[in-house]
Amino acid sequence: MTDTALTTENLAVTYTGNREVEALKGVSLEFPANQLTAIIGPSGCGKSTLLKSLNRLHEIQPNVEITGDVLLRDRSVYNTDEPVPELRKRIGYVPQKPTPLPLSIYENVAYGLKIHGRCDSKDELDERVETYLRKVNLWDEVKDRLDAPGAELSTGQIQRLCLARSLAVEPEVLLCDEVTSALDPISAETVEETLADLKEEYTIIMVTHSMDQAKRLADEVVFLYLGDLIETNDTRSFFENPQHERTQQFVTGHTAVEYTESSEESGADSETVPAER
């Protein structure tokens, strides 16, 4: 039986600013543990909204209403007294544009370990920093300059440093928001290789615009369309034998997005929208 790390129960998110946008319309899903799930769909279909609502990140913005629930294992993410920063430690988030702390490479990784009192001695801290830098395949590139500012690294290296920083607080789930899309192709490939290694050990949920990346990396695929969950399946079945007509259109690059206020806002139009960016 598949072990489920995270569950959404009829999760609905509405932005209530100048215009009301139903970004997610009652999505019920199970994310399997120690696997990588890719969330895909046309622009404006609710991918980022779903990802951010998994660890309550969307609450940073004003005018957002949410109903339903998210369960981490069997504990509610929304109906809980647990402070949100503690929750976000257990469900980490890696953004599209990586931003290192204004600290050294070493301190970028040590920061979370120190704050959460996870190391009793300097030796242990050194060991843990090395462990996490190795996990993201960065150790060999930085071991001789650990005191250099994190910001001096290349964008691809910074993305891996940010991954190491997220892993250092030992999250149960890692949310990755288009983490390769701001990178040059070689850096993107290196980060992708790192994610392929990490998925053996971590539950990763990743938003991607690239179907090729989803095919290469994902164990499971979730397909959203205008805020609705259309189909979820293991990656091979999803691409080789899509069950839903909309999925078939999407995987063949012929998704026609209906003209709605929300699709207008997100830049989609009524013409055929290419599935790949």
Residue choice 2, 17, 236, 252 for contact with ligand ATP (CB under 6 A): 17
CB of 75 to ligand ATP, least distance (A): 25
Residue choice 6, 45, 110, 183 for contact with ligand ATP (CB under 6 A): 45
CB of 22 to ligand ATP, least distance (A): 8
Residue choice 37, 49, 108, 187 for contact with ligand ATP (CB under 6 A): 49
Nearer to ligand ATP, 61 or 270 (CB): 61
User: Given the rule CB under 6 A, which of 16-24, 112-120, 162-170, 195-203 is the region that contacts ligand ATP?
Assistant: 16-24
CB of 43 to ligand ATP, least distance (A): 4
Residue choice 61, 243, 252, 272 for contact with ligand ATP (CB under 6 A): 61
Residue type, 201: E
CB of 159 to ligand ATP, least distance (A): 18
Strand pairing partners for 221? 38, 233
Residue 274 lies near ligand ATP (rule: CB under 6 A): no
Nearer to ligand ATP, 138 or 211 (CB): 211
Report the Cα–Cα distance between both ends of the chain, in Å, rounded.
36
User: Given the rule CB under 6 A, which of 47-55, 85-93, 192-200, 212-220 is the region that contacts ligand ATP?
Assistant: 47-55
CB of 13 to ligand ATP, least distance (A): 8
Site string for ligand ATP, 210-249 (x = CB under 6 A): ----------------------------------------
Whose structure tokens read 């090729």? 212
Residue 46 lies near ligand ATP (rule: CB under 6 A): yes
Within 10 angstroms of residue 147's Cβ, the number of other Cβ atoms is 9
Token pair for 56: 């309550």
Residue choice 4, 7, 43, 155 for contact with ligand ATP (CB under 6 A): 43
Residues that bind ligand ATP (CB under 6 A): 15, 17, 21, 23, 41, 43-49, 61, 262, 265-266
